[in-house]
Structure 1
Amino acid sequence: METPSNEIPSYNGTMPISEHEREELKKELQKTEEEIQTLRQVLNARVKHAQELKKKLGVSPFAEVTSEINDSLRQVKDSQAYQKTAEVAAATAETVATKWHEMKNSSLFKSFESKLGTAYNSAKIVASTSIDHLSGVRSSQNSNAQTPQTEGPPSRLS
């Protein structure tokens, strides 16, 4: 069951194609690829021409990108999905603000706030007192270290 080396079996789905059909398909493929190449060349020439026109008009790439981004943002904001999401977000924010206000005005929160304020003030006083005490001890140690004391006969004035 040998197949000649120049004959390659081809299948389009379920039916083998004849040699004549194969040649026609090859010609059509080559023609299509040439058309694609021509279209690419034309497109590249048009892009280059557009860039030259933009340069003459003073449109910078940065301005162009900025404009495209603004257009995209406008399209997103005009979309139905964005508008529905914005409505839900606004309603959620309003609900949270209302609940926060209710919680802040509750007696439990006010009691907690009062106790927390008292604890904070007590801690502040204790810390201040400790710092003052420590700085007083340190300054008395520093003054003792700076004034040398000589041992001698006790003063008669005392």
Structure 2
Amino acid sequence: MSRIYLKIKIKADICTVFDMARDIDLHQKSTFKTGEKAIAGRTTGLIEEGETVTWRAKHLGFYQTHTSRIINMDKSYQFTDIMVKGTFKSLKHQHIFSQEGKCTIMTDIFEFESPFGIIGKLFNRFFLKNYMKNFLLERNKLIKTTAENNKNLIEE
């Protein structure tokens, strides 16, 4: 299983950052390069515990769909989503938030496993892990910029 661990400091309150991290509309803005679109389940607004969202996007030249469910949530401090249907053999994404003075520390722990045995493991090691890391960094960059500038890019 591959694991990506990211931490970012954001000059905004924890509630704002937490809500931005679970905002379907903001996520779609952060993934414009892949044309990611919420097509089923929660398709707009803030996703809640127990809800699902199905995404459709073009990754690596192929259209793919991926359905995630929020399996637990402690508002403003953490939420976890898992893949319930999609291309990966397994996928779990923990979103963790802590307040540090006037800043929020946002931590992502992203664990995934590709199908196809040894070929999948090699693909993970030499390409997919870096691809997914960059995908998450783009998302986090937009959350940081939006929160720090106190702009509502969602309505633009």
Same topology, TM > 0.5: no
- TM-score under structure 2 length normalisation: 0.18
- TM-score under structure 1 length normalisation: 0.18
Larger Rg: 1
Greater share of strand residues, 1 or 2? 2
Q: Which has the higher contact order (CA 8 A, sep 6+)?
A: 2
